[in-house]
């Protein structure tokens, strides 16, 4: 399935390169700015027809330029406006200077602005070019506007949100609406940026798609366009062995539930067969709870080695509730010629010696998927986690490259990254998905996809998406059992 234009995610650096390419191909950059500013003005009139006054705050770069175009357009439409500038407008350059000149009035200084009820603020202070914490003068005004609870329409990004990482640099607006151009930036989707954008609109300012596509790297929003082509292998009408055999390792007798949640999710997600591998001490408690999921005694590494002679067991989930770190390490290394989802304790087990795991899965097709949340990620990749210059997308890609694994870096803004540099940001998870057993369910869904022969990146991305859908369907207050029951067929078959 070709990538849907709306699924593009373009970093601010890529956007600058796209702007340069557009200029080189003869596209007038001032026309782009004019389209951008007019789109903002139109959105402002549409969202807030009752506004007593539009207050446009203009910064020192092209984001400010968009603001002057918006101000001129709103003036022409006859609504009251006030324009306040950060820095001396005489120092504006290029298109922004021209936009200011064409507006043709005198802006007041930003420090003069006193928020008033009835004002609707158009934030054109900083956009893609924000490179450091917002200056104090801007921070004071942002806080005053928040205090007055005025609606804010952000141009491109809420000022203070880093478009590359979604992090707040100093202080940020919490916009009610954001109008961005051509495509979303990572900061619109990564946290906390996503929550600060309000309702997001993407406006086409006229850069041809062929120019966009050349510069877009492998980052997009997670969705069926990424993996539906690989979902055909998951035809539910196929024979059960063809639909793959997934094995999930159980924890000890007092911690068996997590693995059973994974196993049930794997079955619901379409694996033909699912076996729970349990040490003898936990066999009875598992037997008492299982019906469709099969049970096999795997007491130790020797028993696992014998079982691995059966090549039909095509994928494994190791970690949920597993508990025994030494055995987890041993099993994970033994499984290195199979597809493995390593979750929870399976990840923590390699704290201190991650290289042994990474080496075991190096070479050949990517077959390891790791599903860390923040804490687990820091255990395996402490230096990557501690590097403040990296966005969550950068961190996930760096970890994937180092570990030769697909990384599912969990959170409200789960990022799926492949060792080859592709990455996707997931957006369909409702907040209530963060519940006990949710991660176990996700591991089982991904395991089912791997068992059926989906490539690791697609298996993981599809798993995260189906998990989010199931969460939305099960609704607020869901339990992990509800979640497994709510897993829907893959879109290729719906
Ligand atoms: N293709 C498009 O999407 C188009 C988008 N447009 C708009 O252009 C901006 C990006 O414009 P740019 O000039 O690159 O960046 P900004 O306006 O966001 O900010 C750059 C200026 O701000 C200064 N700066 C940056 N951070 C700070 C800070 N913390 N404190 C003070 N000053 C700061 C920066 O100065 P430097 O010293 O860092 O050089 C710049 O002066 C995009 O967001 C859209 O709104 C185009 O209109 C059309 C094409
Ligand atoms: K802005």
Q: Is 65 annotated as a binding residue?
A: yes
Give Cα separations from 34 to 28, 102, 110, 147 (angstroms): 10, 11, 23, 32
DSSP string, 406-421: EEEE-STT-EEE-TTS
Asked if 259 and 345 touch (Cβ cutoff 8 Å), the reply is no
Using alpha carbons, select from 133, 134, 122, 150 the residue that is nearest to residue 36: 122
Listed range (83-92, 285-294, 348-357, 433-442) with the worst mean pLDDT: 285-294
pLDDT value at 482 more than 80: yes
- What is residue 1's predicted lDDT score, i.e. its pLDDT? 44
Ligand 1, atom 36: closest residue by C-alpha: 131
Q: pLDDT tens-digit profile of 219-263?
A: 999 999 999 988 755 555 666 667 899 999 999 999 999 999 999
- Helix ranges, 190-311 (H): 193-196, 209-215, 224-227, 257-268, 283-287, 301-307
Q: Choose the residue to mutate in 66, 128, 182 for probing ligand 1, maximizing ligand atoms within 8 Å of C-beta.
A: 128
- What is residue 472's predicted lDDT score, i.e. its pLDDT? 97
pTM of the shown model: 0.95
Asked if 266 and 447 touch (Cβ cutoff 8 Å), the reply is yes
From 217, 243, 269, give the residue that closes a domain.
217
Ligand 1, atom 46: closest residue by C-alpha: 33
Listed range (40-49, 113-122, 169-178, 480-489) with the worst mean pLDDT: 480-489
Q: pLDDT tens-digit profile of 335-344?
A: 999 999 999 9
- Regarding an ipTM greater than 0.90, the answer is yes
Compute the average pLDDT of residues 435-453: 96
Q: How far is the CA of 65 from the centre of ligand 1 (A)?
A: 9
Same domain, 268 and 380: yes
Same domain, 417 and 462: yes
CATH of residue 450: 3.40.1190.20
- What is residue 123's predicted lDDT score, i.e. its pLDDT? 98
Binned at pLDDT 50, 70 and 90, residue 10 comes out as: very high
Give Cα separations from 253 to 248, 349, 399, 441 (angstroms): 15, 19, 34, 20
- Separation between Cα atoms, residue 408 and residue 420, nearest integer Å: 14
Q: Give the ligand with the smallest distance to the CA of 123.
A: 2
Q: Is 485 annotated as a binding residue?
A: no
- What is residue 230's predicted lDDT score, i.e. its pLDDT? 85
Q: pLDDT tens-digit profile of 113-154?
A: 999 999 999 999 999 999 999 999 999 999 999 999 999 999
Structure tokens at 334: 């033994």
Q: Is 427 annotated as a binding residue?
A: no
Higher-pLDDT residue of 215, 451: 451
From 172, 198, 217, give the residue that closes a domain.
217
- What is residue 389's predicted lDDT score, i.e. its pLDDT? 94
- Helix ranges, 25-126 (H): 29-47, 62-76, 94-103
pLDDT value at 217 more than 80: no
- Separation between Cα atoms, residue 82 and residue 71, nearest integer Å: 8
Compute the average pLDDT of residues 53-70: 98
Same domain, 232 and 147: no
Asked if 152 and 117 touch (Cβ cutoff 8 Å), the reply is no
Compute the average pLDDT of residues 380-409: 98
Asked if 155 and 70 touch (Cβ cutoff 8 Å), the reply is yes
- Separation between Cα atoms, residue 65 and residue 53, nearest integer Å: 20
Q: pLDDT tens-digit profile of 291-305?
A: 889 999 999 999 999
Same domain, 252 and 194: no
Q: Is 196 annotated as a binding residue?
A: no
User: Which residue range is the domain that position 194 belongs to?
Assistant: 5-217
Same domain, 366 and 285: yes
Same domain, 232 and 213: no
Mean pLDDT of the chain: 95
Compute the average pLDDT of residues 432-446: 95
Same domain, 235 and 176: no
Same domain, 305 and 192: no
CATH of residue 79: 3.40.50.10260
pLDDT value at 4 more than 80: no
- Separation between Cα atoms, residue 84 and residue 53, nearest integer Å: 13
Same domain, 167 and 260: no
Asked if 123 and 159 touch (Cβ cutoff 8 Å), the reply is yes
Same domain, 430 and 392: yes
Q: Between β-strands 81-85 and 219-221, what pairing exists: parallel, antiparallel or unpaired?
A: unpaired
Pocket of ligand 1 (CB under 6 A): 15, 19, 32-33, 36, 59-66, 126-135, 155-156, 181-182
Q: pLDDT tens-digit profile of 14-35?
A: 999 999 999 999 999 999 999 9
Give the rounded percent of residues in the chain with a pLDDT score beyond 70.
Answer: 96
Q: How far is the CA of 390 from the centre of ligand 1 (A)?
A: 20
Compute the average pLDDT of residues 443-453: 97
Chain centre to alpha carbon of residue 12 = 16
Binned at pLDDT 50, 70 and 90, residue 494 comes out as: very low
Give the rounded percent of residues in the chain with a pLDDT score beyond 90.
Answer: 89
Q: Is residue 481 exposed (0-12), middle (13-18) or buried (19+ Cβ within 10 Å)? A: middle
- What is residue 134's predicted lDDT score, i.e. its pLDDT? 98
From 188, 217, 246, give the residue that closes a domain.
217
- Separation between Cα atoms, residue 274 and residue 248, nearest integer Å: 8
Same domain, 336 and 401: yes
Same domain, 394 and 485: yes
Asked if 398 and 436 touch (Cβ cutoff 8 Å), the reply is no
What's the structural domain count of the chain? 2
Q: How far is the CA of 58 from the centre of ligand 1 (A)?
A: 11
H or E stretch at 286: helix 283-287
């Amino acid at each position: 399935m070709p990538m849907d234009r709306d699924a593009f995610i373009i970093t601010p650096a890529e956007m600058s390169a796209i702007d340069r390419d557009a200029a080189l191909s003869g596209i007038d950059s001032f026309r782009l700015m004019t389209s951008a500013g007019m789109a903002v003005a139109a959105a402002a009139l549409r969202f807030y027809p009752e506004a007593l006054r539009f207050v446009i705050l203009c910064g020192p770069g092209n984001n400010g330029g968009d603001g002057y175009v918006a101000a001129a357009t709103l003036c022409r439409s006859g609504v009251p406006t006030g324009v306040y500038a950060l820095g001396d407008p005489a120092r504006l350059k290029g298109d922004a200077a021209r936009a200011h000149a064409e507006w043709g009035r005198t802006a007041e200084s930003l420090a003069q602005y006193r928020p008033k009820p009835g004002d609707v603020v158009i934030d054109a202070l900083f956009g893609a070019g924000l490179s450091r914490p917002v200056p104090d003068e801007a921070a004071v005004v942002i806080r005053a506007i928040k205090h007055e609870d005025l609606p804010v329409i952000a141009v491109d990004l809420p000022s203070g949100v880093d478009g590359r990482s979604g992090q707040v640099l100093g202080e940020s607006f919490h916009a009610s609406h954001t109008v961005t151009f051509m495509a979303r930036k990572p900061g619109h989707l990564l946290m906390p940026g996503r929550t600060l954008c309000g309702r997001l609109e993407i406006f086409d300012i006229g850069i041809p798609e062929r120019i966009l596509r050349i510069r877009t790297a492998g980052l997009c929003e997670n969705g069926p366009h990424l993996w539906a082509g690989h979902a055909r292998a998951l035809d539910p009408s196929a024979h059960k062995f063809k639909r793959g055999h997934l094995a999930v390792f159980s924890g000890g007798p007092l911690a068996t539930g997590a693995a059973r949640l994974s196993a049930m999710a794997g079955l619901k997600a379409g694996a033909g067969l699912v076996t729970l591998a349990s040490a003898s001490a936990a066999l009875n408690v598992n037997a008492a709870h299982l019906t469709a999921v099969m049970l096999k005694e795997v007491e130790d590494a020797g028993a696992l080695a014998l079982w691995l002679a059966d090549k039909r067991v095509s994928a494994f989930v190791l970690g949920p509730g597993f508990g025994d770190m030494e055995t987890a390490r041993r099993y994970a290394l033994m499984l290195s010629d199979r597809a493995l989802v390593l979750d929870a304790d399976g990840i923590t087990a390699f704290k201190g010696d991650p290289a042994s795991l990474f080496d075991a899965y190096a070479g050949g097709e990517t077959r390891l998927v790791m599903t860390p949340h923040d804490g687990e990620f820091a255990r395996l990749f402490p230096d990557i986690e501690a590097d403040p210059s990296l966005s969550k997308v950068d961190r996930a890609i760096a970890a994937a490259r180092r570990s030769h694994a697909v990384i599912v870096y969990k959170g409200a803004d789960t990022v799926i990254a492949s060792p080859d540099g592709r990455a996707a940001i997931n957006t369909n998870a409702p907040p209530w998905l963060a519940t006990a057993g949710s991660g176990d369910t996700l591991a089982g869904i991904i395991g089912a996809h791997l068992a059926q022969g989906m490539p690791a990146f697609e298996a993981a991305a599809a798993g995260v998406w189906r998990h989010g859908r199931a969460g939305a369907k099960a609704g607020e207050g869901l339990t992990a059992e509800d979640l497994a029951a709510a897993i829907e067929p893959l879109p290729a078959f719906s």
